[in-house]
Structure 1
Amino acid sequence: MNPDRRNRQVHDALDQWLLEGQIDNAAHSRIGELYPLTRWDWRSLGRWFLTFGAISLATGLLLFLREHLTFTLAKLAISLSVLTLGLFVVGRWLPRKGLKMLGSTAELLGGFSLIGVSIAAGMIYSDGSGNWPALLLIDFLVLLELSYALGNVLLLTLCSVLFFVWFGGCSGYVSGWGAYWFGMNYPLRFLGVSLALVAAGGVHLRCEAELPARYSGFAKVWISYGLFVAEMSLWLLSLFGNYDLIDRPWHLADDGELLVFNLLWALVSLGVLAVGLRLRFGMLVGYGVTFLIIQLYTLFFTQLAETLGWLASLLMAGGGSLALVIWLESQRQTRRVAISDA
């Protein structure tokens, strides 16, 4: 039997069992992952394209308005407020016509428009403090509530971006340092916050069977965002150490400190990989493998490349990458054959 056809039959049976209450959502998802319908996760890819399209459209509209229309700040704030309300109304109306994804995208555009409203209002009522991150904090809190009220995972993704920019802005620009993302002033702060984010995702995942279906995917956003922030923090800590003072020469961290953070980073990535393999959670496996590879390449280029010479180093790095890709592809083909023969 054709593997795709067989997998479709399995998914149809799983859907029927779920409707009849014979299995829960967690079992449905776990078993379904073993029988992929396509080689590519088109639904996930579609979400990314929708997100990119929403950002591009919002940016284009703002540029068009700026270039062809003359607004005072007050008129701009009012116009954006009307646009925000309209987008959220359309976002609620489209799913009734069977266009759920487009409805979610309209609400995402509404989220971007709401950020524009807060920025315009902030410029109108500015007291000269320059505390722009406070506006993003307000947007984050409002959109977080809307994400759950509307059950929109795209809005929750926007919230994660807002939180990163707000938190970095508070501890970066406002502190007077200005290094921001690469400084992440300071990495340990982000590492601590990431633990709370992953914990929130874990609670979501544990309660997924009891939560309404509209919250499907929320756990992955929390966990993915928390892991990304943690891994990026550990990457910076492994390179520069814990530069916890603005006037400290961060590039002079001693070898012992860098070794500790490198070991911690490796343990975290290995732990994420182990948990992902144990739970058959592909996202965790992807994070673990990706950042282990990044760490190996980072160590290679920071510790060995200068000694070996750049020509030899690039040849070794490129050859290693090709060998890794070939091995991963062979493993994927082996798994596909095993599934089709089962």
Structure 2
Amino acid sequence: MKKLDVSRQEKATLDEAIDHWQEQGLLDETTSKRLADSYDVKGFDWRRLAQYAFWIAISCVILAFLSLFADKMVLRWIERLYDTPDVAICVFCLVLAVVFYLFGFRNKRIYPDKTFSSETLMALGVLATAAFIGYLGRIIDKGSGHFSLLFLASVVIYGVLSVKLSSKLIWVFTLISFGIWFATETAYHSNWGFRFWGMNYPLRFTLFGALLTAFSLFWQPRITPLRPFHQISYVVGLTYLMIALWLLSIFGNYSDLDKWSQVRQWHIFYWGLLSLAVSLGLAWYGLKHRDNIAREFGIVFLIINIYTRFFEYLWDNINRAVFFLLLAGSFWYIGRWAERIWTGREAK
């Protein structure tokens, strides 16, 4: 019988569970021994090594591309190719993207367990697609400055590819491109200013993140092709929402740094209260409904918001020694609180 590979911590948990069930009479000694022999501590975490190796490989490809521009010989070669038509480069990038996608999809179909190598090929295809869209924009540009349409095109392309290739990684790039399109589109309609309909970027992205989160929770599960990406949209939507809310609690709805720097933080305290309320709401919802994503986002941003307010209101108003003593005391309290939860679970 093939044994299940588990970590040392997981093995200790399983051992304790089997011993407990045996003491309670739920398992006999023979069954307990068979269960204990069905798993073993795994050795080196090759899965994690594979994940890191592939991500490093992608990073090295990007660094290699960037380093080309630092090499004098390559620069001279690029200068000679300067007259290469944009159409030729655009077609080359398109072909390169198609090749990466085909190899990635083929690798995923033939070797479904080799997730990281497949996603690496998909990521390279995404980069080639971005280059293709960029050069396509140069070809069709008529001087309007409305280049946000290129990001909208990338949203459509990445969205279709993520569904067709069943790639969660490409769906992440879809949502990132969607956020970039939203930022550039609203900037274009506000003459590239910082305000759109009276809202600065943090306030805009607060609404954007809230809508994306609502879509992932209530509408996306009803759309069959997008159902596998529901959790990713939920995480990305909450990321947009909570980071934007945190920035809103610091800068308020100001779009001019000079005006913002002349305003005391307590004048915009209501944005901080909103951010705290949303963090508390997420933590409460996550704990009540066993939603780990909402719970972790709520707790993390609750702590971030509390310490942000701590720095805002006390940094210039109390002695530095007292400030850091209060900071140390607060972290000690959080550590003790976390320790009580941990020891309580261990005891159970």
TM-score (normalised: structure 2): 0.72
TM-superposed deviation, 1:239 = 2.2
Aligned partner of 2:157 in structure 1 is 142
Give the CA deviation at 1:170: 2.6
Counterpart in the other structure of 1:263: 273
d(CA) in 2 for partners of 1:46 and 1:284? 29
User: Given the alignment, which residue of 298, 301, 311 partners 2:311?
Assistant: 301
* Contact 1:171-1:185 within 8 A present in 2 as well: no
What is aligned with 2:122?
107
Deviation at 1:105, TM superposition (A): 2.6
User: 1: CA distance between counterparts of 2:304 and 2:257?
Assistant: 29
Please state how far the C-alpha of 1:84 moved relative to its aligned partner. 0.1
**CA apart distance, 1:296:** 0.6
Using a 3 Å threshold, how does the CA distance of structure 1 residues 141 and 45 change in structure 2: closer, same or farther?
farther
Aligned-residue Cα RMSD (Å) equals 3.8
Q: Number of residues paired by the alignment?
A: 300
Preserved CA contact (<8 Å) 2:50 2:116: no
Gaps of 5+ in 1: 10-36
Amino acid at match of 1:279: H
> 1:277 — aligned with what?
287
**CA displacement, residues 176-207 of structure 1 (integer Å, 9 cap, x when unaligned):** 55669xxx833332222222211121136855
In structure 2, give the amino acid aligned to 1:87: F
Residues 266/74 of structure 1: CA separation in 2 closer, same or farther (3 Å cut): same
Residues 157 and 221 in structure 1, CA contact (< 8 A), matched pair in contact too: yes
> What corresponds to 1:60 in structure 2?
63
Deviation per residue, 1:25-82 (Å, 9 max, x gap)? xxxxxxxxxxxx99xx9979976x4784465245235336656353423332222111
Q: SS of the residue aligned with 1:307?
A: coil
The counterpart of 2:138, out of the listed 106, 123, 129, is: 123
- Hey, what's the Cα distance between the residues in 2 that align with 1:170 and 1:284? 29
TM-aligned CA deviation for residue 336 of structure 1 = 4.1
Structure 1 window deviating more from structure 2 (291-300 vs 186-195): it is 186-195
Change (3 A) 1:276 1:128: same
Q: Give, in angstroms, the shift of residue 308 of structure 1.
A: 1.1
Identify if the C-alpha distance between structure 1 residues 64 and 174 changes in structure 2 by more than 3 Å, giving closer, same or farther.
farther
Distance (Å, rounded) in 2 between the aligned partners of 1:51 and 1:303: 44
Residue 37 of structure 2: aligned partner: none
How far the C-alpha of 1:6 sits from its partner, in A, is 7.9
Given residue 249 of structure 2, which amino acid in structure 1 is its aligned partner? S
Q: Does 1:236 align with 2:241?
A: no
Aligned counterpart, 2:104: 91
The code of the aligned residue for 1:274 comes to: W
Q: Percent identity?
A: 27
8 Å contact kept, 1:50–1:105? no
Give the CA deviation at 1:8: 7.3
Greater shift after overlay, 190-199 or 320-329? 320-329
Q: Structure 2 counterpart of 1:199, which letter?
A: A
CA deviations over 1:73-104 (Å, ceiling 9, x no partner): 33322221111000000011102134233223
Q: Residue 79 of structure 1 aligns with which residue?
A: 92
Q: How does 1:90-239 map to 2 (within 5 A)?
A: 90-95=103-108, 96-98=110-112, 99-172=114-187, 175-176=190-191, 185-203=200-218, 216=228, 218-239=229-250
Per the normalisation by structure 1, the TM-score is 0.73
Provide the C-alpha distance between the structure 1 equivalents of 2:281 and 2:191, rounded to a whole number of angstroms.
36
* Change over 3 Å in CA distance of 1:140–1:103 after alignment to 2: same
Unpaired segments ≥5 residues, structure 2? 1-7, 16-40
Q: How does 1:10-21 map to 2 (within 5 A)?
A: none
Q: Is the 8 A contact 1:168 1:185 kept in 2?
A: no
Distance 1:334 1:287 in 2: 23
- Aligned counterparts of 2:107 and 2:13: Cα–Cα separation in 1: 31
Cα gap change, 1:277 to 1:206, in 2 (>3 Å): farther
Separation in structure 2 between the aligned mates of residue 307 and residue 254 of structure 1, nearest angstrom: 12
> Within 1, Cα distance between the matches of 2:257 and 2:323?
34
